[in-house]
């Protein structure tokens, strides 16, 4: 019997300084076009962010809202069903995004603003529970150490998931995200993938953001523009072990990897079987 395929969350950056696209979707029209194409390619979640994750120019809450709200509103007007996620760590930005049509909060900085999860609960929208090892937003890891990285990820993300549920976030709309590269080095990232079964076994849907990350680049010694193959290999590994969703730049390729992996496992049927059947 076929099982639901892992979901694809498409990245839409309304930033001029993204590490990957270098501002390709900073213009509102370009961001909306990117979202539209991603939906056509198979994404069921559109993740819209207005602040670069790493160090860079200061973006205050008002500027962040100016960046994300027009895109959220436009995507929602064009598609009433797609899940729209806002990538923010600020409660006031999240509330404004929900008012504009967002239905998921992607808290990539692990509850840095303790009111953020409260906003999700009060509005009964989805929430992504991340792990950063206590890192300050927009800082890079430096000589980070854990006694057991996977145990630490599970402890922090599941505690946040339980708090989210207690505040009113629908349990089926809660994800836990080990958050590769945030407060972690390459060895931590590989360990999380190696032991991904332990995250899946928590029972909370697991979201992974692997796309073109530094841990991929360091593993295969490739620059930012040459990490797609490494990303897709990691995606296939995680999808085969039950990861529920992937945050990605390459939507179409990721959809194919997920479907192929599921078909090999017998969990999805091929889409067009005509060879040698006539």
Domain assignment present for 276: no
> What number is the average pLDDT over the span 131-143?
87
The pLDDT value recorded for residue 106 is 98
Q: What is the DSSP letter of 206?
A: B
**Which residues does 240 contact at the CB level (< 8 Å), separation at least 6?**
261, 264, 265
Residue 16 lies in a domain: yes
CATH code where residue 117 lies: 3.20.20.20
Say how many domains are in the chain.
1
Least confident of 12-21, 195-204, 226-235: 12-21
Distance (Å) of CA 12 to CA 65, 109, 170, 184 = 15, 18, 25, 24
Q: Tell me, yes or no, whether 40 lies in a domain.
A: yes
In-domain check, residue 272:
no
Segment 178-186 mean pLDDT: 96
pLDDT of residue 99: 98
Sheet of strand 207-208, all strands in order from the earlier edge strand to the far edge: 174-177, 126-130, 104-107, 83-87, 45-49, 7-13, 245-248, 207-208
pLDDT interval class at 142 (50, 70, 90): confident
Contact 10, 47 (CB under 8 A): yes
1 part of a folded domain: no
Which is more confidently placed, 276 or 143?
143
At residue 22, does pLDDT exceed 80?
Answer: no
**Over residues 208-234, mean pLDDT:** 97
With respect to residue 2, please indicate whether it lies within any of the assigned structural domains.
Answer: no
Catalytic residue selected from 14, 213, 227, 259: 213
Check pLDDT > 90 for residue 209. yes
Average pLDDT over residues 120-143: 92
What is d(CA 157, CA 198) in angstroms, rounded to the nearest whole number? 13
Across the range 67-94, mean pLDDT stands at 97
| Residue at 214 is within a domain | yes
Spot the catalytic one: 67, 184, 195, 247: 247
Share of the chain above pLDDT 90, in %: 87
Q: Looking at residue 144, what is its pLDDT? A: 87
Quick check: is 138 catalytic? Answer: no
Give pLDDT, residue 173: 98
CA atoms within 13 A on the CB side of 66: 6
pLDDT in tens, 42-75: 999 999 999 998 888 899 999 999 999 999 999 9
pLDDT band at 141 (very low <50, low <70, confident <90, very high): confident
143-147 contact pairs (CB < 8 A, 24+): 144/183, 144/184, 144/185, 144/188, 146/188
- C-alpha distances in Å from residue 46, one per residue of 34, 122, 167, 199, 275: 10, 22, 24, 24, 35
Q: Has 52 been annotated as catalytic?
A: no
Residue 32 lies in a domain: yes
pLDDT at 252: 98
Q: How far is CA 273 from CA 26, 41, 165, 270, 278, in A?
A: 41, 21, 43, 6, 10
pLDDT, tens only, 240-254 = 999 999 999 999 999
- Give the pLDDT confidence score for residue 278 in this predicted structure: 62
Residue 1's pLDDT is: 52
Beta pairing class for 126-130 and 104-107: parallel
List the domain range (segments joined by +) for residue 183.
Answer: 7-265
Report how far Cα 2 is from the mean position of its chain's Cα atoms: 24
Residue 101's pLDDT is: 98
Per the CB < 8 A criterion, the answer to whether 237 and 193 are in contact is yes
């Amino acid at each position: 019997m076929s099982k639901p395929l892992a979901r694809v969350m498409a990245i839409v950056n309304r930033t001029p300084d993204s590490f990957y696209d270098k501002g390709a979707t900073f213009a509102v029209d370009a961001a909306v076009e990117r979202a539209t194409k991603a939906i056509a390619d198979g994404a069921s979640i559109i993740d819209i962010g207005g602040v670069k994750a790493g160090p860079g120019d200061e973006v205050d809450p008002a500027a962040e809202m100016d960046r994300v709200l027009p895109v959220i509103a436009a995507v929602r007007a064009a598609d009433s069903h797609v899940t729209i996620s806002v990538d923010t760590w600020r409660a006031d930005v999240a509330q404004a995004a929900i008012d504009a049509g967002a239905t998921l909060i992607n808290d990539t900085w692990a509850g840095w603003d303790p009111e953020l999860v409260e906003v999700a609960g009060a509005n009964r929208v989805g929430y992504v529970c991340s792990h950063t090892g206590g890192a300050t937003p927009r800082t890079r890891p430096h000589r980070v150490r854990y006694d057991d990285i996977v145990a630490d990820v599970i402890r922090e993300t599941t505690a946040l998931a339980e708090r989210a549920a207690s505040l009113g976030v629908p349990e089926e709309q809660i994800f836990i995200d080990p958050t590769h590269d945030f407060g972690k080095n390459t060895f931590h990232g590989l360990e999380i993938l190696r032991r991904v079964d332990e995250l899946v076994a928590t029972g909370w849907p697991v979201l992974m953001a692997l796309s073109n990350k530094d841990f991929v680049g360091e593993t295969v010694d490739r620059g930012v523009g040459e990490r797609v193959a490494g990303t897709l290999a990691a995606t296939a590994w995680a999808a085969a072990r039950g990861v529920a969703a992937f945050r990605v730049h390459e939507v179409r390729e990721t959809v194919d990897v997920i479907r192929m992996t599921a078909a090999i496992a017998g969990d999805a049927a091929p889409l067009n079987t005509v060879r040698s059947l006539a």
